[in-house]
Structure 1
Amino acid sequence: MKKLLILGLLFSTGLFQACTVNENPQPITNELLAEVFEVKADFTPGNSFRNYYNLSPVIFDSDVLLVYEFVGLDKTGADIWKPLPQIYTSDNGIHQYNFDFTKLDFSIFLDANFDRMRLNNSWRLGKTFRVVIVPGKFAKMVDKNNLQNVMNTLKLTESSVVDLTI
């Protein structure tokens, strides 16, 4: 019985010494976690008023994609970005810019309760959007209504913006 107890203790000691814990994991930089890019989009009958973009590499299931519409400049010359969806009313009716995404791709689209071709070209052609990939662990910590706050939280700068052209 004593021999079995000694063998059991030796086995247990060997088992615990074989397991190691990495107490100093390598930090992951924000450049690998968050990304921001800019796209220009035309909304026409030819693309069903929807622009598709592939994500390469694909994002994690926990990541969140945010999209902002460029709406002009403020009186200081700073860009004004509004989060999607954005809803507008006109004499024609109601139209909106919106988006959807998967971990593989995303699309930005123009929807309306009237014929979208009745919209002035400035509403349909050459629209600029900023897209931010927010790592899942930051998704609840950022003020998603303000692009600059999102970029500051994720330590992204204007030089981080990648211009994607279709």
Structure 2
Amino acid sequence: MKKFLPLLLLLVSSVFIFSCKDDDDDNYVQVDVDYPAVYDFRNISFTNNPSLGWVYSQSFTRPMLDQDYVVIFRQSGTDNGNPVWQQIPKTLYLNEGELDYDFDFTKNDFAIYAGGTYNLATTPQYINNQTFRVVLVPAVFGKNANLEDLHKMSYEEIIRKYNIDDSKIGTL
């Protein structure tokens, strides 16, 4: 009986040890999201909104999480048939003056703006038939990154760093 009691005590205590729940898992919520992902927007023409200026906006099919990132690139040309992506915000210095592309986003949508120091309607090639590439990056992939880091990276660097499959360009 003396040998049986320690074994019984060990068995009972091991049941409690292995049945305990790790509270760290309670902080994570499984969310069905559409990213990391890449979306192309072709033949985009800005509309002139009296209060916002030249703008294009789009809603996401599903809301992002509050802490996630959106990075937007404008196709500025091609090189041997390959698109050249220019991250916005970006200022172009033209003969007519300065033209600025900028954007903002919420968890539900994004907007791209074109503004400048001159009447943008005089340069329709910069506000009509534009191509943009929108990259959605979950914050969990950027544990050691911040928005400033993302704004310094090229399209290729972001795709590589966050292991985003850009062979499957999506549409919203």
Return the offset for 1:125.
0.7
3-state DSSP class of the match of 2:171? strand
CA distance in 1, matches of 2:81, 2:119: 34
Equivalent pair of 2:37/2:165 in contact (CA under 8 Å) = no
The change in CA–CA distance for 1:20 and 1:32 in structure 2 (over 3 A counts) is farther
C-alpha root-mean-square deviation of aligned residues, in Å?
3.0
Aligned residue runs from structure 1 range 125-140, under 5 A: 125-139=128-142, 140=145
Which of residues 7, 23, 39 in structure 1 aligns to 2:41?
39
Equivalent pair of 1:42/1:49 in contact (CA under 8 Å) = no
Q: Aligned residue for 1:69?
A: 74
**Matched AA of 1:137:** V
* 1:86 has 2:90 as partner: yes
* 1:157 has 2:145 as partner: no
Count of residue pairs the alignment pairs up: 145
Equivalent pair of 1:34/1:133 in contact (CA under 8 Å) = yes
3-state DSSP class of the match of 1:68? strand
- State TM-score, norm by structure 1: 0.73
- State TM-score, norm by structure 2: 0.71
Return the offset for 1:62.
1.0
Unaligned runs of at least 5 residues, structure 1: 1-12
Percent identical across equivalent pairs? 22
Unaligned runs of at least 5 residues, structure 2: 1-12
